[in-house]
Amino acid sequence: MAAPNIVNVSAIYGKTVGAALGTSSADILTNSSGSGKVFKINAIYISNIDGSSNAEATVTWYDASATTSYNLAKTVVVPADATLVVVDKDAQIYLEEGDKIAALAGTSGDLEIVISYEDIS
99-110: pLDDT as tens digits? 999 999 999 999
Residue-wise pLDDT tens digits, 41-68 = 999 999 999 999 999 999 999 999 999 9
Query: CB of 81 within 8 A of CB of 70?
Result: no
Distance from the Cα of residue 29 to its chain's centroid: 6
Question: Number of structural domains, the chain?
Answer: 1
Residue 2 resides in a domain: no
Residue 59 resides in a domain: yes
Q: What residues make up the domain containing 84?
A: 13-120
Q: pLDDT-based confidence at 119, cuts 50/70/90?
A: very high
Decide: pTM greater than 0.85.
yes
